Structure 1
Amino acid sequence: MDTSADTAQSHLELESVSHWYGDVCAVRSVSLSVRPGSFFTLLGPSGCGKTTLLRLVSGFLNPGAGSIRIGGVDQAGIPADRRRVGMVFQDYALFPHMTVAANIAYGLKMHRVPREERADRVHAVMQRLDIEDLKQRYPHELSGGQQQRVAVGRAVVLEPLLLLMDEPLSNLDAKLRVRIRTELKELQQRLGITTVYVTHDQEEALSLSDDIAVLDRGRLQQQSDPVTIYEKPVNPFVAGFVGSANMLHLTGQDGERRLCMYRPEWLYVAPTGAEADDPKTEIRTGTVTAREYFGPTLRYRVSLTDDAPPVYVDAPSRPRTGQRDTFSPGDEVALYIPTDGGWEIPDRG
């Protein structure tokens, strides 16, 4: 199966899309654009509207306001079974009584594709996904990664313009989830199909995505690439949701107080008494109140003496030569804050 021609023109655009469940507005005036061939993630906490958006794009729901265009075509009035959209559900939803080949062929059969063409397309998809040797197996005989490939195969055999994925890794254990998400990214790149992915897992979104849209309470908070989302969040919600964020008020050279975000790995703790070599580094004294071990890193919770919220600092769990060994709860430390190394964001309370 060759999707290169379709992929070249496929993309998704939402303009001022809203949706209500009764009196509750689940999606509020969301506008976003998905680049052709990209891996695009809708990220947010439970109830933020990300799955509702996916269902609106798929045609399972109709927007109460706004427009949705796929490949430049307005989807108003086009039912789900007529949209060129493939769907991979959270639990993959494979038919347990059907073989791999029969599962992949199911949609083609429902669309009354002739048997010979059906067989050719199923064979081409299984070749591309490297699952030809699994064609006579049943879902219960497959690993999690194999089931995922079959679910993707069933979706892409219909040659959709968009592939939609609704938290497909959420039911897997942590180690398997990391391995399968790597396989998923490689698979998406191999197929070259525009993919819209839903998750609440920040690490998953950052590692998989070309672009991310962060949602909260039905509103789009920020859309950008993973590095920008992580390092340059537009507001305190995005800063806190996509990773640990220290919000510090600093005084600039102009005397103005600014709210700046620092990720734990952007800060440094050292024994008290040292002076900063860099004039752009501010030093505050604090006390270590907790220490968490994460294998390669330690995370310190440092309480400052000025009644500010605690600050979290990441450090190597095995310090390099010449550096002090780790600190323990109760130790007094100097917190080094590079004043030009944080990210200033609007203070919204």
Structure 2
Amino acid sequence: MEKSLKKRPLSVLQSINKWGTIIAIVVLLAFFTVIMPDIFLTSSNIINILRSISIVTIIAIGLTVSLSVDGFDLSIGSTATLSSSLIVSFFVWYNLPAGIAIPLAIVLTLIVALINVLLIVKIKIPDLFATLSTMFIFEGVAMTYTGGGSISEGMPRLDGSPTEGKLPVVFDKMGETPWIIMIMILVVIIVHVFLNHTKHGRYMYMIGGNIEAARLSGIPVNRYKTFAYVISTLFAALGGIILASYLGSAQINSGAGYLMPAVAAAFIGSSFAGNGKPNAIGTFIGAALVGILENGLVMMSVPYYSLNIVKGMVLALALASTYYNRK
């Protein structure tokens, strides 16, 4: 009898550890619904939340892949800024069609991955330091390319010459509902299947769990780390392109604001359902937590300068519920 009583609190604690993120989401949904019963839990607001987290989720999914091999890509924000600048310039400055401009922007942005791989895989610089360097480098590259300003329809080139290029309709649709949400869902599903239901995904998790054991098992560690950073850059580039579509222009350092939310989503997602490892579904849930919180606070007219305080506290509590007493 005494043993069963002792086990019960531990079981409750383990359940909280396992489902802390979901509990936090349910609590937030209940709280905001009670405070704003007529406007919060409506179909239009749910769609608004999903739209608002789409770009963060896509970028965070790329980060999740790098985390799966025990990496960490801090350059994702600058990567998104670079791809955003490239895609709009291709349309406005050079009048390229979407079928050429979008693949070209992605391919050129993959240079970030090549530099990251060179620094991390070849030169052996720790991931955090290497990607911190490339974050600053490509932030500067993007700002130099745009002349430190934004790019939009009708704006002249840097030399003052006029432009006639227009943003294609297919490009505009990428940032609109429901397409932006559908792209996000597709990205989550593809990466979830890849990481959890293919041998390559299992190899990446093995590398992330114990790199030396993976190497001794014959897994080509460097090849998979290279692949992880290419995928991370790819999704950051896609996120930047969709961001440009959503804004209808390329704004100065527009991707920088997505770095910390993406990091939060990926790390919260690692704790989802007791997985203890980066995973696509968890990253989506983590992004949803951040999105619900921000949406509710804005609707409550909380001052913008206080949002980060409240968001940080709730995120810390969600993570604490997961990691407390973990051995």
TM over 0.5: no
Output the TM-score relative to the length of structure 2: 0.24
Task: Between the two structures, name the one with larger relative contact order (CA 8 Å, sep ≥ 6).
Answer: 2
**TM-score normalised to structure 1 length:** 0.23
The structure having more radius of gyration, on CA atoms, is 1
Higher strand share: 1
